[in-house]
Chains A and B, each alone.
Chain A
């Protein structure tokens, strides 16, 4: 049992930290968020060059073959910088689906491109009625010749506009909330019948509403087994949750550290705010939330590869609940303790607060995962 980083992981951490320091001043990020695509292609190319896009991909397909801990290290630093490049959508989730469900042809053709930054992916799963249930799928895929015709809607698909291909969950059989009968399809972004409405999200990212109106795909667009998409989604979304927990820890640590410093410098009633016991205890509670979130981040990172699916699911949901609780507390209290300044767009605090708020929602919020944990 060991919670320390290896030498390689420490080097990775240093290198991501340097990137964040150089490229992610709050002002630079503000400019990126305001561009057409909402992030920097230069940064993406740099991430490819540094090997980060290939980090979790297998070596036989041009990847680095990194594990969950490597991803954690990287995502935590991305969290500290509020990095907006589509790493989660493309590499963690997109790459995750290709690795877990892709055919040999998919892997050979797509994984090297993904790692090289020549291919971007997104994942469309949510629907208007589904809320956080991955298996509540009404989007239909009907057999047509060798292929399928897709009809339906996908909501809040992160980074869809800049993705080359979008992985879409659709129902090939069964009732609308059945786990069986969901199939995952790899759909070209520019294909006929696919229309997008693109928009910015509150946390500085981009997302789209997708309408699929008679989108025709070949049999080779299927990822994993036909009708077997539920298990595949559970696996890949579990990995995404582990990664987003690390991102969240990075966000929380920044807020905790900077709020702590702020209390020491802001003077009211002739003394620094840090001298008021009521604020000291608030700060201690924030610190404890950060440390608890970090503990659960380690836990889920180390258990995400567990062979027992129930153990794995419990680890994922438990971590997501803790991250949700901690993130909300640390985010809200950071705004509160900064007083009026915490309400300004100018200060970094609000931007971290917004990201933490959305991290709770991503892949099911605290309530969703509490219920899932209780049902396991």
Chain B
């Protein structure tokens, strides 16, 4: 057992440090620091910078354009990315469908899709949930009927983050109603510009438009866009959910959140001192920091296992549960820190066009939307209750 970094690791850290410091655009860092929503164009701009350096996909194998880094290097990279205010990785392409395509896709699919995921040119969204299929995902009803060399897709998908700005979607569709529900599902990659696809906004409690309900009416999808075999889509979806569970651990992001929270608590005053010096608040903050350190070492253990060639099983659900709980703990503490200034909800303050003085402290406006949207974290990606079901069954054998 050893936590020490080798000289190579330390040199690597310096390299990443120097690069990010020199190349992270100041305006993007400022927006991240203030907790503003980051525009698609800004995320693409940063992604391209990483791509040109060869660092677009830390978790991918070299042969598909990844870095091939070992667990330690990936840890160091994440640490440095969190240390600076870099925008969060949009998971759908790089963390979800990308690994699925290089694992199960055809050569043609790899060639067609992977490069544009890496350079950020193509934006992906997920088409899983339906109005009648939430946690019970396998009950999904969106139908795909094979007609010659293409499928005809009809149905409704929901909770599609970014569907209104995405170029492609990866979609679970029903190709058979025989046998078990899970055995009649296929996995399709669908061009969002295909006629018959219509995303409609769902405004969430944070007042923003992240989510969509997407209607599919006689949408033609080439058979060549199916991943793997027909009716085996559930297997691929499960593989992908495993990836998602790892990625929503968000250790680096939560470290950013702790830093932001501390700087807010240093400004806010109570009883003549800063909130940071108020013992009850300081205790809650320490509690959250310790929880985060625990999550960090838990995820490092998984990372080390993976690096040693032992694939992670359903235990990864723990990372999703704790990662999302801690995110909520931190966003909750942040609005608690704001006191009354959690209340002003002038959404225009978040836009570039706002040039009046801020209402209350300038760090306040972004925090309530973040708190509100963080409530989704324990629901999406398989709700935390579903994750507990998974651990109970797969790990504990209950």
Enumerate chain A interface residues (CB-CB to B < 8 A): 1-5, 9, 69, 260, 263-264, 274-275, 277, 279-281, 283-285, 287-288, 291-292, 294-296, 298-299, 301-303, 318, 321-322, 370-371, 373-375
Contact = CB atoms under 8 A, between A and B. Distances in A.
A287 B395 CA distance: 10
A114 B318 CA distance: 43
A254 B301 CA distance: 21
Which 3 pairs from chain A and chain B are nearest by CB? A280-B392, A295-B297, A374-B286
A376 to B, nearest CB: 9
B322 to A, nearest CB: 7
A130 to B, nearest CB: 20
A162 B396 CA distance: 43
Given A4-B308, A283-B398, A292-B294, A302 B279 contact: no
B304 A3 contact: yes
Contacts of A284: 388, 391-392, 396
B308 A1 contact: no
A252 to B, nearest CB: 14
Contacts of B5: 1
B171 interface: no
A2 B2 contact: yes
B72 A374 contact: no
B1 A2 contact: yes
B321 A288 contact: yes
A274 B398 contact: yes
Nearest to B321: A288
A303 B3 contact: yes
A299 B295 CA distance: 11
A278 to B, nearest CB: 11
B389 interface: yes
B298 interface: yes
B392 A295 contact: no
A281 B385 contact: yes
B392 A302 contact: no
A5 B396 CA distance: 24
A299 B396 contact: no
A274 B398 CA distance: 5
Interface string B66-78: 0000011001000
B312 to A, nearest CB: 12
Contacts of A260: 396-398
Interface in B303-341: 304, 308, 315, 318, 321-322
Contacts of A292: 294-295, 298, 322
29 contacts: A1-B300, A3-B300, A4-B308, A5-B1, A264-B398, A277-B392, A283-B396, A284-B388, A284-B396, A287-B391, A288-B322, A291-B298, A291-B315, A292-B322, A295-B294, A295-B297, A295-B298, A295-B300, A296-B297, A298-B297, A299-B294, A318-B289, A318-B290, A321-B287, A322-B294, A371-B286, A373-B286, A373-B290, A374-B286
B116 to A, nearest CB: 33
B386 to A, nearest CB: 11
A219 to B, nearest CB: 40
Question: Which of A292, A371, A374 has the most C-beta atoms of chain B within 10 angstroms of its own C-beta?
Answer: A374
B283 interface: yes
A301 B5 CA distance: 16
A370 B288 CA distance: 10
B282 interface: yes
Contacts of A5: 1
Given A2-B304, A260-B396, A298-B297, 4 more contacts: A9-B1, A274-B398, A318-B294, A321-B287
B285 interface: yes
Contact of B389 (A69, A277, A279): A277
